[in-house]
A and B are shown apart, each in its own frame.
Chain A
């Protein structure tokens, strides 16, 4: 497989054509917008849960095959995980994509072809940045240019940042 085929693996193309959980979640879901500065693409990622565990995740928006596939894979990967666990997975993914950690990512390993395309790494991390923001109750859209958040608490409360429709 050449570099390009590594990037656009069948599983990536399949998720980009038929993204999973491509829908809006309504309140009291936690949502955050992620903006890819490279292209202006914008995703909204939402999670439902009890504050400690994610029951379901979904997303909306437009983007390239990599960002859509990554968001789609995310929604499957984090459902049922605790918030801590989901955030740790986001960390591991970002580390794997930047080549600073071994791959141990299950289905998410399909995203690792992006490592050979440094300009496209932020496409793969866009949804994960939004996930972090949603779990931390960030109200500003997160950009792929900013360093990932490293807050001291890894739970969210239902009182902050409810979904605002059509924001």
Chain B
């Protein structure tokens, strides 16, 4: 680690208590204890401004978007399209119409799999992923492979939880038709060298899709600097609503892709002789969209952009360092994922206590963590594990909460040992 926890604490300028006050769900008791929410990698909590933005939208501005001439429809359309602009700015997209609304990261990846990749590949072609992908960045490609006869190939991961870049490079070739990789691992916390991966893939003319679900809440994402071709993320992990997410894609690639879902909004003209498709981004947005979700996500991104993001990152780094140090003190505890470059996620296992038993005991103490395979079964199998306990930290967590996590773990050990 480049800095000690004390050093981070000394440089921190964040008023965490004031920030916590903005998140209503954090202020409650669970099983007679104050809630300690350490499951933000699964889904973050929302600040009140997001909840209010959604409620205000429904109270005052709701109507269906586009093509309405009445005032409410105009308001809803403006809010919806302003949200798209907010997203474009958040990820530094070259153009707002490169931002496609989806239900989440999963749907975004499926869209690319079916619309971009499926028409272009066949037997002999390969899709390259890594062992540390979420099932959402594995299964959509497996479906395409079944449909086309292409093959899914996975680059190995080191014991520390980093992509084995030498092996990754060896697996790339003219047969590689797409590389799909996570920006930050949900199970390990590893921050992957996406820019380098893009450089290597592009040398073989393979486009790169980045699963940014875990990166968006922690990193300042710049799709142009990364050089990737597609970037996907979900609203609910970045303090926004569930059911809304984003696919960003390069305009040239999106333009060349056929529509995925048919329906209203995505057409220019329909007749029984055939239909013509709407322009970007609407070509990929059949049906009435999740307008309130887009509005809520925009409020979340606005909230995040108004924070001192450098201070947030320093605070998260401090939490990660403190948690890593604190958990390492436990006898028989092993941290899974020890890459030097990590987001604030700590996966761990005890040699003699199953993750679910840990999870239940912690919940009894008001501490919410996630236990299980984290939708990364191939990765855990590689480590010889079926399940881990995972504590994931967000900007609203504190060192004191990590100490409470440790106290709850100590209680679990007393019970079991």
A interface residues with partner B (beta carbon < 8 Å): 3-4, 7-8, 13, 38-42, 62-66, 117, 119-120, 123
Contacts of B416 in A (CB 8 A): 8, 13, 65
Shortest Cβ distance from residue B345 to the other chain A in the assembled complex, whole angstroms: 18
Partner of B364, one of A3, A38, A39: A3
A-contact bits for B344-357, CB 8 A (1 contact / 0 none)? 00000000011111
Shortest Cβ distance from residue B366 to the other chain A in the assembled complex, whole angstroms: 12
Give the contact stretch, choosing among B10-18, B114-122, B369-377.
Answer: B369-377
Contacts of A63 in B (CB 8 A): 354
Shortest Cβ distance from residue B217 to the other chain A in the assembled complex, whole angstroms: 25
B interface residues with partner A (beta carbon < 8 Å): 353-357, 360-361, 364, 371-373, 377, 380, 386-387, 415-416
Q: Can you spell out 28 A-B residue pairs with CB atoms less than 8 angstroms apart?
A: A3-B364, A4-B360, A4-B361, A4-B364, A4-B415, A7-B360, A8-B357, A8-B416, A13-B415, A13-B416, A38-B372, A39-B372, A39-B386, A40-B372, A40-B373, A40-B380, A40-B386, A41-B354, A41-B386, A41-B387, A62-B354, A63-B354, A64-B357, A65-B354, A65-B357, A117-B360, A120-B356, A120-B360
Shortest Cβ distance from residue B65 to the other chain A in the assembled complex, whole angstroms: 37
Shortest Cβ distance from residue B359 to the other chain A in the assembled complex, whole angstroms: 9
Q: How far is the CA of A7 from the CA of B415 in the complex (A)?
A: 11
Contacts of A66 in B (CB 8 A): 356-357
Whether B356 and A39, one on each chain, are in contact in the complex, defined by CB atoms closer than 8 angstroms, is yes
Whether A123 and B377, one on each chain, are in contact in the complex, defined by CB atoms closer than 8 angstroms, is no
Partner of B356, one of A4, A13, A38: A38
Q: How far is the CA of A83 from the CA of B366 in the complex (A)?
A: 43
Shortest Cβ distance from residue B246 to the other chain A in the assembled complex, whole angstroms: 29
Q: State the majority secondary structure of interface residues on B.
A: helix
Q: How far is the CA of A85 from the CA of B66 in the complex (A)?
A: 65
- Kindly report which residue of chain A lies nearest to residue B361, judged by CB atoms: A4
Whether B387 and A40, one on each chain, are in contact in the complex, defined by CB atoms closer than 8 angstroms, is yes
Whether B354 and A64, one on each chain, are in contact in the complex, defined by CB atoms closer than 8 angstroms, is yes
- Kindly report which residue of chain B lies nearest to residue A38, judged by CB atoms: B372
Contacts of A64 in B (CB 8 A): 354-357
Whether A123 and B415, one on each chain, are in contact in the complex, defined by CB atoms closer than 8 angstroms, is no
Partner of B377, one of A7, A40, A119, A120: A40
Q: How far is the CA of A117 from the CA of B415 in the complex (A)?
A: 17
Q: A40-B387, A41-B386, A66-B357 given as contacts; is B373 within 8 A of A8 (CB)?
A: no
Contacts of B415 in A (CB 8 A): 4, 8, 13
Contacts of B360 in A (CB 8 A): 4, 7, 117, 119-120
Contacts of B377 in A (CB 8 A): 40
Shortest Cβ distance from residue B271 to the other chain A in the assembled complex, whole angstroms: 46
Q: How far is the CA of A42 from the CA of B364 in the complex (A)?
A: 25
Choose among B357, B371, B415 the residue with the greatest number of A CB atoms under 10 Å from its CB.
Answer: B357
Whether A39 and B355, one on each chain, are in contact in the complex, defined by CB atoms closer than 8 angstroms, is yes
Q: How far is the CA of A62 from the CA of B357 in the complex (A)?
A: 13
> Which 6 residue pairs spanning A and B have beta carbons closest together?
A64-B354, A64-B356, A40-B373, A39-B372, A39-B387, A40-B386
Q: How far is the CA of A151 from the CA of B149 in the complex (A)?
A: 39
Contacts of A13 in B (CB 8 A): 415-416
Partner of A123, one of B356, B361, B380: B356
- Kindly report which residue of chain A lies nearest to residue B381, judged by CB atoms: A40
Contacts of A120 in B (CB 8 A): 356, 360
Contacts of B355 in A (CB 8 A): 39, 64
Q: How far is the CA of A81 from the CA of B111 in the complex (A)?
A: 54
Choose among A7, A65, A119, A123 the residue with the greatest number of B CB atoms under 10 Å from its CB.
Answer: A65
- Kindly report which residue of chain B lies nearest to residue A120, judged by CB atoms: B360
Q: How far is the CA of A153 from the CA of B361 in the complex (A)?
A: 41
Contacts of B372 in A (CB 8 A): 38-40
Shortest Cβ distance from residue B371 to the other chain A in the assembled complex, whole angstroms: 7
Shortest Cβ distance from residue A126 to the other chain B in the assembled complex, whole angstroms: 11
Contacts of B354 in A (CB 8 A): 41, 62-65
Shortest Cβ distance from residue A34 to the other chain B in the assembled complex, whole angstroms: 13
Q: How far is the CA of A17 from the CA of B356 in the complex (A)?
A: 15
Q: How far is the CA of A123 from the CA of B415 in the complex (A)?
A: 19
- Kindly report which residue of chain B lies nearest to residue A37, judged by CB atoms: B372
- Kindly report which residue of chain A lies nearest to residue B386, judged by CB atoms: A40
Q: How far is the CA of A8 from the CA of B415 in the complex (A)?
A: 8
Whether A39 and B373, one on each chain, are in contact in the complex, defined by CB atoms closer than 8 angstroms, is yes
Contacts of A39 in B (CB 8 A): 355-356, 371-373, 386-387
- Kindly report which residue of chain A lies nearest to residue B355, judged by CB atoms: A39
Shortest Cβ distance from residue A6 to the other chain B in the assembled complex, whole angstroms: 11
Q: How far is the CA of A83 from the CA of B250 in the complex (A)?
A: 62
Name 5 extra pairs, CB < 8 A, besides A4-B415, A42-B386, A63-B354: A8-B361, A39-B372, A40-B380, A64-B354, A117-B360
Contacts of A42 in B (CB 8 A): 386
Q: How far is the CA of A42 from the CA of B386 in the complex (A)?
A: 9
Q: How far is the CA of A13 from the CA of B355 in the complex (A)?
A: 15
